[in-house]
Structure 1
Amino acid sequence: MSHVDDLLEIMMMSFALGMDALSLSIGVGLGSISRRTAVQLCAFIGVFHVALTLIGIGFGDWIGDYLGAVAKWFGALLIIGLGVHMAYHTLFSKEEKRPRTIDSLLSLAVFAASVSIDALSVGFSLGLRSVAYGAASAIAFGVVSCCMCGAGLAIGRKFGQAIGHYGELAGACILILCGIGFLH
């Protein structure tokens, strides 16, 4: 696989993982949130995406040494499963998403961690591939998620919840396609 292919794949995964940040930030943007809190939220989400991806990479690399070729299939199936779960939850969840109240650093951290938890699973799969590829991915995930969070807050302030549902579904499809790509 060429470096251009790797870069394209990383950007697609970054976009897919950032969709949660986008859609959930739209809900937050519907409420009243100060600019300072918005900037803090974007930073927290970016940092958590990087940190959780790196933690996942560490575990994936360690397990990859012991499982060998089986680990590649496991990682690909994990990403596909995450995408399928995301699509299922988006299409069939009965719970109504409400704007979230964020009024302290603890609530910012908890919100950011919940938005970023899927990066842990993807990081695990990336660690099965290569640490260098995974580290580059982690940085891209953080930057893109931070930007998508900011975009979601702005959209929420302007347009409401209409894009959130479709954004999550698009992210799910991208994860499934990336997982299939890992199988080759």
Structure 2
Amino acid sequence: MDIAAVLGEFLTLFIMAFALGMDAFSVGLGMGLMRLRLRQIFYIGVVIGIFHILMPLVGMGIGRFLSDQFGTIATYLGGILLLILGLQMIVSSFKEEESRMLTPEGAGLFIFALGVSLDSFSVGLSLGIYGARTVVTILMFGVVSMFLTWAGLFLGRRVQGWFGSYSEALGGSILFAFGIKLLFAL
């Protein structure tokens, strides 16, 4: 395999992981204003990272099945799914309503982690249709989202919550662009 192609795929996956992790980053900014203990911040980041591994893994498995069954149609569906997901993230970043505040402990932490990783399932579905490398993809998503969650929580301790909506819009724009790329690659 060509080294340039491998590096290109790695960079693409990193950018997608970064885009998906921006949701966790923006929510982490808001939670960081709660003045969490360092141990809580550590656990929140790890749980978010694990969910960002599990959700795209399930999505990729379903996406590979669809790809084997439906071929090119499934690739178009994956691109459309990324477009819709990107648009949804962009639109939700401009909503005025405050998101509900869950406590980042116990069941609240798992609900929070599931909520911020649902978009990873959809992207995993698209990547499974596309045929991306599973291990590299899920590890990239997990590690990047864990570090972005930590960054959001730490930064949230220092700044106001105004930055969060812009980061979600940026993440949505990146996913939208990848959807367009996937649609026009055929």
Which consecutive aligned stretches of 4+ in structure 1 deviate over 4 angstroms post-superposition?
none
Among 96, 99, 115, which residue is 2:98 paired with? Answer: 96
Quote the Cα distance in structure 1 between the aligned partners of 2:119 and 2:59.
10
**CA distances 1:71-118 after superposition (whole Å, capped 9, x unpaired):** 011001101110011111112x2312465422x322111111111110
Residue 107 of structure 1 corresponds to which residue in structure 2? 108
Q: TM-score, normalised by structure 1?
A: 0.93
Is the 1:31–1:99 Cα contact (8 Å) retained in structure 2?
A: no
What is the CA-CA distance between 1:33 and the residue it aligns to?
Answer: 1.2
Letter of the 1:170 counterpart: L
Identity of aligned residues (%): 36
Q: Which runs of 5+ in 1 are unaligned?
A: none
Is the 1:29–1:153 Cα contact (8 Å) retained in structure 2?
A: yes
Among 45, 55, 74, which residue is 1:42 paired with? Answer: 45
Instruction: Kindly report which structure 2 residues correspond to 1:150-161, keeping only aligned pairs within 5 A, or say none.
Output: 150-161=150-161
Is the 2:102–2:109 Cα contact (8 Å) retained in structure 1?
A: no
What is the CA-CA distance between 1:50 and the residue it aligns to?
Answer: 0.4
Letter of the 1:95 counterpart: E
Is the 1:79–1:176 Cα contact (8 Å) retained in structure 2?
A: yes
Residue 133 of structure 1 corresponds to which residue in structure 2? 133
Quote the Cα distance in structure 2 between the aligned partners of 1:30 and 1:99.
11
Residue 146 of structure 1 corresponds to which residue in structure 2? 146
Letter of the 1:149 counterpart: T
Letter of the 2:97 counterpart: E
Quote the Cα distance in structure 1 between the aligned partners of 2:133 and 2:160.
36
The total of aligned residue pairs comes to 181
Q: TM-score, normalised by structure 2?
A: 0.92
Instruction: Kindly report which structure 2 residues correspond to 1:8-87, keeping only aligned pairs within 5 A, or say none.
Output: 8-87=11-90
Is the 2:31–2:156 Cα contact (8 Å) retained in structure 1?
A: yes
Residue 171 of structure 1 corresponds to which residue in structure 2? 171
CA distance 1:99–1:158, shift in 2 (3 Å): farther
Q: Which runs of 5+ in 2 are unaligned?
A: none
What is the CA-CA distance between 1:64 and the residue it aligns to?
Answer: 1.1
Quote the Cα distance in structure 1 between the aligned partners of 2:101 and 2:120.
23
Quote the Cα distance in structure 2 between the aligned partners of 1:134 and 1:178.
18
